[in-house]
């Protein structure tokens, strides 16, 4: 073997062992801090590992030991700020326990999710945290159910069928806004949303909003569009349609905060007085909203805590402890200056 070939080869445990003058197994024990090893040997091995720049090959390690420290997290989109907070919460809890998080995005797409799940399972994760409220394929569900690892579903508060579930109550979310609209005496409320057939949790909030209003004898007007993305610009489009079709609208509940912001900007640009002429409410409590001078009325979900609770559930399950099958986190209406 010439120098060039040797240079290309990665340093393995065998190299470390040879350099330290011990068996591979001893080196392995030193790296993992198990077994009984004399201090002198331990030092020789760690020194050798450092000298050679040894980085363990976890593929081999996990394959052999049949356990992994990867926790897979499957989200609709990392781009959505709400999940950023969730992931932060998850990491805060998981990292100190030595787990790494692997994130997959499903873009609310059924087929893509099945694909992602297959990819993620193929990495043999220790546990899985997955976002619900998506149309999951039967095949994907079965694959997960048959997989022998802890699975916790988040965000979705309907019964999950997995080991645990951590979420806000979407029903409460919708109802809170309905109640608020009634309390403030709005007569012609409306709802705007997009892709409701994909985002089942948003659909649940909407349903709850509707039925709560109906209990007060009010039927909200609705403008939804399955083809538009769940982004701020869509809020502008939808609210434009809404106000054109039904100018007397005096309160608008929006699918989420991003859409609410879009709606607000359109209303402002078109000379509407918010909240005196039209009120606006959203869902999520996105952090940016706390510093922008328009303080959107919204239903606040503590997303970081949601991540923490889910991660703690995972850790408990991995330690063989029992967990609550379902945890529903508090949600509360935060009144800003838009209603």
Partner DNA sequence: CAGGCTAAAGTTATCGATAACCTAAGTGTT
Partner DNA sequence: AACACTTAGGTTATCGATAACTTTAGCCTG
Asked if 264 touches a second copy (CB under 8 A), the answer is yes
Tokens describing residue 258: 């991003």
Binding residues among 289-328 for DNA as defined by CB under 7 A:
none
Least Å from the CB of residue 339 to a second copy: 17
d(CA 185, CA 250): 10
Least Å from the CB of residue 11 to DNA: 8
Among a second copy, DNA, none, residue 324 binds (CB under 5-8 Å by kind) = none
Least Å from the CB of residue 183 to a second copy: 27
Binding residues among 269-298 for a second copy as defined by CB under 8 A:
269, 287-288, 290-294
Binds DNA (CB under 7 A): choice among 3, 36, 146, 276: 36
Residues 59-78: x/- map of binding to DNA (CB under 7 A)? -xx-xxxx------------
Least Å from the CB of residue 179 to a second copy: 27
Least Å from the CB of residue 281 to a second copy: 16
Among a second copy, DNA, none, residue 53 binds (CB under 5-8 Å by kind) = a second copy
d(CA 249, CA 281): 13
Bond preceding residue 136 cis, omega within 30 of 0: no
Asked if 121 touches DNA (CB under 7 A), the answer is no
Binds DNA (CB under 7 A): choice among 56, 69, 101, 110: 56
Asked if 197 touches a second copy (CB under 8 A), the answer is no
List residues near a second copy by CB under 8 A. Answer: 8, 10, 53, 55-60, 62-63, 68, 77-81, 84-85, 87-88, 91, 100-105, 118-119, 121-124, 142-143, 146-148, 231-233, 235-236, 258, 261-262, 264-265, 268-269, 287-288, 290-294
Positions in the binding site for DNA (CB under 7 A): 9-10, 12-14, 22-26, 28, 31-32, 34-38, 40-42, 54, 56-57, 60-61, 63-66
């Amino acid at each position: 073997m010439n120098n060039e070939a040797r240079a290309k080869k990665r340093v393995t445990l065998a190299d470390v062992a040879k350099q330290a003058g011990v068996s591979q197994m001893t080196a392995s024990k030193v790296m993992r801090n198990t077994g009984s090893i004399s201090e002198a040997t331990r030092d020789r091995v760690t020194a050798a590992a450092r000298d050679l720049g040894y980085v363990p090959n976890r593929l081999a390690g996990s394959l052999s030991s049949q356990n992994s420290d990867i926790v897979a997290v499957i989200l609709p989109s990392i781009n959505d700020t709400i999940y950023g907070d969730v992931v932060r919460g998850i990491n805060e809890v998981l990292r100190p326990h030595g787990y790494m998080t692997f994130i997959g995005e499903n873009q609310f797409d059924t087929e893509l999710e099945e694909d992602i799940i297959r990819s993620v399972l193929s990495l043999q994760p220790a546990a899985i945290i997955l976002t619900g409220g998506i149309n999951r394929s039967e095949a994907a569900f079965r694959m997960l159910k048959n997989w022998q690892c802890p699975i916790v579903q988040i965000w979705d508060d309907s019964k999950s069928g997995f080991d645990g579930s951590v979420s806000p109550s979407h029903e409460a979310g919708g109802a809170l806004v309905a109640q608020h609209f009634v309390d403030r005496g709005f007569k012609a409320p409306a709802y705007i949303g997009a892709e409701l057939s994909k985002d089942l949790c948003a659909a649940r909030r909407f349903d709850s909003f509707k039925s709560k209003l109906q209990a007060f004898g009010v039927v909200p007007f609705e403008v939804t569009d399955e083809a538009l993305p769940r982004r701020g610009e869509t809020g502008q489009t939808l609210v434009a349609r809404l106000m054109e079709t039904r100018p007397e609208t005096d309160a608008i509940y929006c699918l989420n905060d991003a859409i609410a912001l879009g709606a607000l900007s359109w209303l402002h640009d078109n000379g509407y007085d918010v909240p005196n002429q039209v009120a606006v409410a959203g869902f999520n409590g996105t952090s940016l909203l706390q510093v922008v001078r328009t303080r959107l009325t919204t239903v606040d979900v503590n997303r970081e805590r949601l991540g923490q609770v889910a991660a703690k559930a995972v850790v408990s399950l991995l330690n063989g402890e029992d967990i609550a099958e379902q945890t529903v986190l508090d949600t509360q209406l935060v009144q800003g200056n838009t209603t």
